[in-house]
Amino acid sequence: MRFNDLTAHELRGLLLRRETSAVEICRSVFDLLAAVEGEIQAYITLDRAGALAKAETVDRDLRDGRELPPLAGIPFAIKDNMCTKGVLTTCGSRILRNFVPPYNATVVERLNAQRVVMIGKTNLDEFAMGSSTEHSSFFTTRNPWDTARVPGGSSGGSAAAVAAGSAVCALGSDTGGSIRQPAALCGVVGMKPTYGLVSRYGLVAFASSLDQIGPFTRDFTDCALVLNAICGHDERDSTSAPGELGDFTDFLVDDVRGMRIGMPQEYLSGGLDEGVRRIVLEAASVFEQRGAYVEETSLPHTDYALPTYYLIAPAEASSNLARYDGVRYGCRLENSTDVIDMFRLSRSRGFGAEVKRRIMLGTYALSAGYYDAYYLKALKVRTLIRRDFEEAFEKFDLLLAPTTPEPAFPIGDKTEDPIKMYLSDIYTLAVNLAGLPGVSLPGGFLNRLPIGIQLIGKPFGEGALLRAGYTFQQSTGHHLKRPRIRGEA
């Protein structure tokens, strides 16, 4: 049996019926890794011994008849910008290449409580700054559907691992589309929850008012199960939303009758590939056939989202990354003449080109004489973008849009032109600026490459996204297709 093609809830059924064991599932993942990881390069760090040890404890408790959490024994991957106690956490950067955290991120603690089996830490664009995973300081992850193409970014390793079958579920972080964009390019489900729904404690900060952790899964049932595990208030995160949460699996209802869905006209024009546009319109037709009301709408300030994001995010990054100075932890360059020279050498050689570019952009935007003209104005435009969504949600339950303007692009195609690369996230940035939940799900294929469609919800409207996404997947089979990778048996 190919365990690598199954979902978490399918594997749980096998475990409860004693048709397999957690150790057998874990070994099958590492067998697949041995065959395909050299081609895909999704992981920075693997933990075979730790994974097998966790799987053995799950099997022992199953034999003893103990009740286990829903994700017990499920192979998981964690993006390498989330702290894992005793396990290397590099953020894809030379400056943290030897950093081993003394504590776990809250999401890791919560997954450990679920008894998941952590396979390893996945590759990413350095400090989550990128859209292709080509800005990792270590290597480029490749798309399982076509290894000459990018998997997206910055959470490209997590998306590629789930698509390839070298993890059943994974966690990523999304600052401007870094879960949804790679999910779209790799043909999996990727959700960015409402800002504050998932604790950021232990997530290495990029842009603190935008960052959010979320899941990569193969279907919406698994997405709901992972959300149940990682969501909830955390007193260690001052931005964590208070209040009790229900069971997200309650929203897995195959019915969208009466649901009102808006399609922002600004997302269906301009540089959008015609094939992608057709797939989005076909998705709208599926929702209409299932009884939803679909109508075009407008988000007037959409064109300002990209420049607004690239003032706010780099400004916050400039502040957050100031701590990497070669003194307390991380890379320190020796043979410096004084402390200032040590700072300069450690940061100039420890950070990659894209991180340096964003630090310089952010520092400039925050500098005396330019703060009001750039950063403060960007904050005001951010408010206008949020109000556009608020007005749209007075009429609609959710919005339907493309996730990316095109399918996965060839490796190296955009690395020399930062603006072209930044435009890869043109349809996802505004969701982060407004703090809204969004999800990308497989919507179809174009030239045998997966295309994602994006659903955007009201604040804390994950339930509507789950209901709509679940219904779409019951009506289509795009999420059931799997890539076949050279070297795979």
Catalytic residues, which ones?
A: 79, 154, 178
3-state helix, strand, coil in the chain (%, to 5): 45, 15, 40
Gap between the Cα atoms of 188 and 183, Å rounded: 5
- How would you classify the pairing of strands 398-402 and 438-446? unpaired
- Record the tokens describing residue 89, joined without a space: 């956490």
Closest CA to 450 of 253, 270, 274, 276: 276
Closest CA to 213 of 182, 167, 179: 179
- Cβ burial 85-95 (10 Å sphere, 16+ → b, else e): eebbbbbbbbb
DSSP string, 66-79: ----TTTT-EEEEE
Gap between the Cα atoms of 255 and 312, Å rounded: 39
- Record the tokens describing residue 117, joined without a space: 């089996």
In the chain, the amino acid numbered 399 is L
Gap between the Cα atoms of 442 and 111, Å rounded: 25
Q: Which residues contact 334 (CB under 8 A, 6 or more apart)?
A: none
| Spatial contact of 217 and 162, defined as CB atoms under 8 Å apart | yes
DSSP three-state, residue 337: coil
N- to C-terminal Cα distance for the chain? 12
Closest CA to 309 of 366, 385, 408: 385
- Record the tokens describing residue 34, joined without a space: 């041995």
**What angle in degrees, to the nearest 10, is found between the helix axes of 462-475 and 220-230?**
160
| Spatial contact of 462 and 141, defined as CB atoms under 8 Å apart | no
| Spatial contact of 237 and 245, defined as CB atoms under 8 Å apart | no
For 297, 347, 358, 363, the CA distances from 340, given in Å and listed in that order, are 54, 11, 21, 18
- Record the tokens describing residue 468, joined without a space: 């709509």
